[in-house]
Amino acid sequence: MTELQWHRVAHVDDLPEGRVMTVTAGTHGMALTHIDGSFTAMENRCPHQGGPLGEGSIERSEDGQCWLRCPWHGWDFDPVTGLPPGGHEDSGQVLYPVEVRDGEIFVGLDSDVDHVPTVSDVMAQTMVNWGIRTVFGMVGHSNLGLADALRRREADGELTFYGIRHEGAAAFACSGYAKLTGKPAACLSIAGPGATNLLTGLYDAKVDRAPVLALTGQVQVQVFGPGAFQEVDLAAAFEPVARFSQTVLHTSKHAELVSLAMKNAIVQRDVAHLIFPDDVQTLPAGDAEPGSPDGRLADSRISPPESAVREALRLIRGSRRPILVVGYGARDCMDEILLLAEILNAPVLTTFKAKGQVSDDHPLAAGVLGRSGTPIASWFMNKCDLILALGSSFSNHTGITTKRTIIQVDFEAMQLGKFHPVTLPVWGEIGMTATILSGHLSAVDTIDQRPELAERWAIWRDEKASRRADDRGRGVNSASIFEAMSRLVPIDAIIPVDVGNNTYSFGRYFECRRQRILMSGYLGSIGFAFPAAMGAWAATQDFDEYRDRKVVSISGDGGFGQYLAEFTTAVKYNMDITHILLNNTVLGKISKEQLAGQWPVWQTSLHNPNFASYAKLCGGFGIRVKSADELDRAIVQGLAFEGPAIVEIMADSELI
């Protein structure tokens, strides 16, 4: 016989005669009743559909018998014996020993009940083995078994769980985490609306090739199909967004499902999805063992074909004014690329998504090319006779000309010549290809374009200085905002940026040094920046290479308003994020597009709170800027605050 462990659950005055209430002993929920001066404790879950008996009522029949009635469907149980009146469940409800000591009510539980490992435990351990260190999500009724398995992994120090306010923020946080690190985090939701809320952030990760693991609860297997409460066909809903999507069944190879999901996320740099029916999550694991990545991942550094290398060398040697256009796909091999650029005396232009991959103070840096770019980059593209495109997708936002000789290098074969033919498509790992080319190009006859670069930068910086003087009395101009940020933001900061005019201005005016920029690239989703900043901050806790790097996110008021409540999440976990919020009380980019299309400006105005005051109400730091001469002091204070901070800048929607 096991020894009982006694838990205080209530005071006798907490429960009037003839009433029932829910109490908790350890992790056990119970329905505590008070009838005829006596207290009894019954299992809180009704055997019918799990109704909370502690929220029910006590009714006395004509013969004086008391019954505890379930609030959901009216099933009755004798509070003293736990038995139904005549037969819903032959075994009745579990009763627990109760003692009253000096007016305090105690319930006894067995003290030596061991946890029986579940399917979810095996799967959660497999996730950890494959490198999942962080989970963002919301715990709810259809993922409780899985959530408990994640809780156990957190208790053992193997992962960290961040409870968010909206599942969309969880998916965006995972996207930001993956874009920074190249490694997946996981997002957790319930069935139905919780799962569908994930989709926008998951699409953002998918189109920007960021690995993410999505974990969604689901209704019980036995009610698939007829249309149970919160049932959505999640396999169908996630099919377009997830490279791998499977439902976890009773008979599944549970560890293998996780291993396949993780391998797809990591190797394909895509979204993987696992659906967890409620009744499968708590199945005993039996002798199942967790999986691991051992022997399942290969070295991805593939060399280009020799014939492609020879042709690339021929084209390069015939060039006098080559340029390099560097995309987001080249983010992990910039040392090799810059060495090649120095050999070729070639300007390095970046796509907007690749902003910051080369410091703007590098002698060969030409800034961002395209709509969010600088006149420096476009000038050199127009003057070049050869384009060496490395990890660039040739989006129309960037606008790489097709009227030059183009060598395109990418590790993704489908990206080569995706939108139009190129002179020479080269399939190979970008860093390795750059190193091979450098090894054959010790002497080239190219023009040293560094003096021209310095001249074009001087012209552009004079132009920016001129724009900083603009003042219509309607807020601070963007040139001033991003000049101040260029000076004050730490050189190794991680900067998630949002969508809108604030983003275009950031691309033009902010001069990067060694900062890392994150953005919603191909999806272009408003609201990305702050949740992505939460993901980036989580990565600074997980990986030494990012530890102590400041996270500084940027958005307009429209973007921040999408996930306004997540500031409380940042406060809860003391996330050290400084958010620069450009408040112009309008969806400025949309207004501009309406005017460009010769439509009247309509429904783009915004009604905002004082965001700085909101930050303080949430428990963070907030400061509001109304004029350019207040910028430095406010930004310095926001950056110095050790926790979530908002620097709200009243910005002019026209001076962008």
Segment 429-462, tens digit of pLDDT: 999 999 999 999 977 889 999 999 999 999 999 9
DSSP secondary structure, 279-321, as one string: HHHTSB-TT------TTT-----PPPPHHHHHHHHHHHHT-SS
pLDDT of residue 62: 83
Burial class from Cβ neighbours inside 10 Å (0-12, 13-18, 19+) for residue 307 reads exposed
pLDDT of residue 253: 95
Q: Extract the tokens encoding 359.
A: 């410091």
In sequence order, the β-bridge partners of residue 246 are: 274
| pLDDT at residue 222 tops 80 | no
Helix residue spans in 188-346 (DSSP H): 193-197, 199-207, 234-238, 254-268, 278-281, 306-317, 334-344
Are 595 and 570 contacting, i.e. CB atoms less than 8 angstroms apart?
Answer: no
Are 224 and 173 contacting, i.e. CB atoms less than 8 angstroms apart?
Answer: no
Give the pLDDT band of residue 1 (cuts 50, 70, 90).
low
- Give the count of alpha carbons within 13 A of 265, CB side only: 33
pLDDT of residue 88: 54
pLDDT tens readout for residues 349-376:
999 999 999 999 999 999 999 888 899 9
Q: Are strands 621-625 and 645-650 parallel, antiparallel or unpaired?
A: parallel
pLDDT tens readout for residues 519-554:
998 898 999 999 999 999 999 999 999 999 999 999
| pLDDT at residue 112 tops 80 | no
CATH 2.102.10.10 fits 4-110, yes or no: yes
User: What is the mean predicted confidence (pLDDT) over 411-434?
Assistant: 93
| pLDDT at residue 246 tops 90 | yes
Please provide residue 77's backbone torsions phi and psi, each rounded to the nearest 5 degrees.
-140, 140
Give the pLDDT band of residue 220 (cuts 50, 70, 90).
confident
Please provide residue 599's backbone torsions phi and psi, each rounded to the nearest 5 degrees.
-105, 155
**pTM for the structure as a whole:** 0.91
| pLDDT at residue 245 tops 60 | yes
Are 350 and 327 contacting, i.e. CB atoms less than 8 angstroms apart?
Answer: yes
Burial class from Cβ neighbours inside 10 Å (0-12, 13-18, 19+) for residue 640 reads exposed
Q: Where are the domains of the chain?
A: 4-110, 119-281, 306-447, 469-650
**Cα–Cα distance, 468 to 481 (Å, whole number):** 9
Q: Extract the tokens encoding 73.
A: 């469907």
Contacts of 390 (CB under 8 A, 6+ apart): 324, 325, 326, 327, 329, 330, 337, 409, 410, 430, 433, 434
pLDDT of residue 224: 73
| pLDDT at residue 115 tops 90 | no
DSSP structural state of residue 634: H
Give the pLDDT band of residue 14 (cuts 50, 70, 90).
very high
Whole-number mean pLDDT of the chain? 94
Give the pLDDT band of residue 87 (cuts 50, 70, 90).
low
Rounded percentage of the chain residues whose pLDDT exceeds 90: 83
| pLDDT at residue 136 tops 70 | yes
Are 625 and 647 contacting, i.e. CB atoms less than 8 angstroms apart?
Answer: yes
Least confident range of 108-117, 294-303, 324-333, 647-656: 108-117
Fold exhibited by the domain 306-447: Rossmann fold (3.40.50)
Give the pLDDT band of residue 299 (cuts 50, 70, 90).
confident
Least confident range of 4-8, 184-188, 195-199, 312-316: 4-8
CB atoms within 10 A of CB 318: 12
Which of helix, strand or coil describes residue 631? helix
pLDDT of residue 26: 83
Are 315 and 405 contacting, i.e. CB atoms less than 8 angstroms apart?
Answer: yes
Give the pLDDT band of residue 227 (cuts 50, 70, 90).
confident
CB atoms within 10 A of CB 322: 26
Q: Extract the tokens encoding 183.
A: 């490694």
| pLDDT at residue 294 tops 60 | yes
Task: Please provide the distance, in angstroms rounded to a whole number, between the alpha carbons at the two ends of the chain.
Answer: 76
Contacts of 452 (CB under 8 A, 6+ apart): 380
Which of helix, strand or coil describes residue 37? coil
Cα-based distances in Å from 324 to 302, 344, 408, 510: 21, 9, 10, 21
Q: Do domains 4-110 and 306-447 have the same CATH topology?
A: no
Q: Extract the tokens encoding 525.
A: 């989703």
| pLDDT at residue 341 tops 70 | yes
Least confident range of 264-273, 582-591, 633-642: 582-591
Which comes out higher in pLDDT, residue 189 or 28?
189
CATH code assigned to 469-650 = 3.40.50.970
pLDDT tens readout for residues 605-635:
999 999 999 999 999 999 999 999 999 999 9
- The edge-to-edge listing of strands for the beta sheet with 38-43 is 19-25, 28-35, 38-43, 95-96
pLDDT tens readout for residues 19-30:
999 999 988 899
Are 32 and 10 contacting, i.e. CB atoms less than 8 angstroms apart?
Answer: yes
CATH code assigned to 119-281 = 3.40.50.970
| pLDDT at residue 91 tops 70 | no
For the four alpha carbons of 106, 107, 113 and 118, in that order, the dihedral sign comes to negative
User: What is the mean predicted confidence (pLDDT) over 138-147?
Assistant: 95
In sequence order, the β-bridge partners of residue 105 are: 10, 100
| pLDDT at residue 226 tops 80 | no
